Amino acid sequence: MTQALYQRYRLPLACAMIGLLLAVLLVREGLGRWRDLSQWQALAESAASLQARAPINLERLRQSAESRQIQLAGVEPSDAGWQVHGQVTSEQALQQWLLALQAEGALPLQWALEQDVSGLRFDVLVRP
C-alpha cells in the first residue's frame, strides 16, 4: 500500500518541491534587489544633502583667505555676488584658494591678477 501511495504522489510531491524552491529563490532575489535599491536611495539622499549645504558667508570667505596667507583688501557686494580685492604671494596660491572656494560651495565667476609694486594684486567675482 505504501508503495502504491508513493508511486501515486511522487510526481505531485516533486512538482511541489520544485515550486517551493523556485519561490524561495524568487523571494531571495527580490529581497536582494530591494536591499540594493535601498542603498542607492540612501546614497542619493546623502548626495542631495551635500549639495544642499549652506552657502558660504563673508566670514568663511575671510577665514579661507587668511588660512592661505591671502590678504583681502576689500569685499564689495555686486549683482552676481561679491567683488573681492586683495593681494597674494603667487599665482598658485590664488588658484588653490579659488579651488578651495569651489569646494566650499562658492563659484568664482571672474578673476584678474596683475603685478603691483608690493606683489600680486587680484580681483575676483565670487557667487556664494
Tell whether 36 and 77 lie within a shared domain.
Answer: no
Asked if residue 48 and residue 71 are part of one domain, the reply reads: no
- Domain of 84? 58-127
Q: Do residue 75 and residue 117 come from a single domain?
A: yes
Q: Are residues 31 and 75 in the same domain?
A: no
Residue-level pLDDT at 1: 61
Counting residues of the chain whose pLDDT is more than 70, the rounded percentage is 95
Residue 59: predicted pLDDT: 87
Task: Answer yes or no: do 118 and 65 share one domain.
Answer: yes
Whether residues 66 and 118 share a domain: the answer is yes
CA separation for the pair 66, 62 (Å, rounded): 6
Q: Is there a single domain that holds both residue 62 and residue 121?
A: yes
pLDDT digits (tens, 9 = 90+) for 84-113: 999 998 889 899 999 988 888 888 889 898
pLDDT in tens, 24-55: 999 999 999 999 988 988 888 887 776 656 67
Mean pLDDT, range 115-126, rounded to an integer: 88
The model carries a pTM of 0.57
Task: In whole angstroms, give the CA distance from residue 116 to residue 88.
Answer: 10
Question: 34 and 18 share a domain?
Answer: yes
Structural domains in the chain (count): 2
Walk across the sheet containing 119-127 and list its strands: 71-77, 82-88, 119-127, 107-116
